[in-house]
Structure 1
Amino acid sequence: MSRTALLLTAILASTEAGQAQERTKPMSITRKADLKTVDGPEQFFTGKATITGQFQREDPSRVSGAIVHFEPGARTAWHRHPAGQTLIVTEGIGWTQIEGGPKYEFYAGDILWCPKDKKHWHGATAHDAMTHIAIQESMNGTPVTWMG
């Protein structure tokens, strides 16, 4: 066998071994009882908001997310997402607005798409709490840019 053929055989064997190892990794499950809940930082939230189960996946993934609960009247500060953000509303009624646009109301079961690089906010209505699952991707190491 030629040296090139031996090298290709070694590379293929190594690649196949790596793929087999990846297939045998166990699935990762974080139990509800193990999820951490923190208060939404005052510089990024108005009113009472809590963030549960924040996660950031390992490279090469860029996905992160959390479950965010807003008490009535609570909302985020203005912010942007470099790759956009998906919000899956699980409870309550909320409001959202892109800078310069109308304020929209949304409900449990709705799915919102916040376009990339659009300055916006979201939160609960004045009289109803709201909870959503937030999913976004990082660009250049960050999933969000907060503004005043």
Structure 2
Amino acid sequence: MTDLILAILHHVAVFGLVATLAMEGVMLRAPTLDPARLVKLDARFGMTAMLVVVIGVSRVVWGGKGWAFYQDNPFFCAKIALFVAIGLLSIGPTLLFFRWRKAAAGDAGFVPPADELKRARWWVGLEALLLIPLLACAAAMARYPF
């Protein structure tokens, strides 16, 4: 039963991660941008990512398959590497969002510079794109060896 509960919680957390990333992408394309709301949403993204990690580690430690299943699974290693890459990529937009919030606090008419906005969209888009192979690795991991 523990394994089932952890699996459900892990899936819900991953869906939450995807949803917050999608919302960031939508907010970055909105005609008006509220940097303070974007910072809050990005914080939720970070907290959800940490929740995914905690639940994922719990699955490895207390789940039905145990560490032996994961230690030699190349798809598990690839999935973790992709998750780390997404986390590292998220640093760039996070720093921009903080800078924008600070600038908006001092200037009610603040609009992010076009090049920074384009860069943030690109980073968030790349994070979303990397979710595809991550999810493919998760599906392959569960069935390895084939």
| TM-score, scaled to structure 2 | 0.23
Structure with greater strand percent: 1
Query: Which structure would you say has the larger RCO, counting Cα contacts within 8 Å and 6 or more residues apart?
Result: 2
Q: Max radius of gyration: which structure?
A: 1
| TM-score, scaled to structure 1 | 0.22
